[in-house]
Amino acid sequence: MKIALCFDLDDTIYRESDYLVNVIIEFLKSINENINNKIITPEILEKNLNRRKPDILGQIINFLKLPKNIFFELHNKIYFFYENINTNIYPYKDFLEL
């Protein structure tokens, strides 16, 4: 039995925004932010974030208008989720398995 893991976050196989939405939701839960009144969708992220900038996580914190006085603490926490989240994302529907 062969098992393969494909990690792709540049929108080639997977939609990066789907991953980021899951990161943001878990991050907000961890800091007890009410996510019911926040509109976090892949489409919103795609329109409002520049994923080519090196500090996408800082952009997310700014986008969510989280407190600036604990910015570095929040940045470290969201970075942790970005690297360690256990979530399912799926390839584009026209992706061909090799």
What whole-number distance in Å separates Cα of residue 73 and Cα of residue 79?
A: 10
Q: Does residue 90 fall inside a structural domain?
A: no
Note whether residue 64 is domain-resident. Answer: yes
**Any domain includes 7:** no
Query: What is the per-residue pLDDT for 47?
Result: 83
Please state, in angstroms and as integers, the Cα–Cα distance from residue 47 to each residue in 11, 30, 44, 84, following that order.
Answer: 15, 25, 5, 25
In a domain, 30, yes or no: yes
Whether 4 maps to a domain, the answer reads: no
Tokens of 4: 């393969």
Structure-token pair, residue 2: 């062969």
Q: Determine, yes or no, domain membership for 91.
A: no
- The range of the structural domain enclosing residue 73 comes to 16-84
Q: Is 88 helix (H, G, I), strand (E, B) or coil?
A: coil
In a domain, 52, yes or no: yes
Domain presence at residue 6: no
Rounded distance, CA 73 to CA 58, Å?
11
pLDDT confidence of residue 84: 93
Q: Is 45 helix (H, G, I), strand (E, B) or coil?
A: helix
**The total number of structural domains that make up the chain:** 1
Render each residue's pLDDT in the chain as its tens digit; 98 residues. Answer: 777 666 665 777 788 888 888 888 888 888 877 766 667 788 888 888 877 777 877 888 888 888 888 888 888 998 899 899 988 888 888 877 76
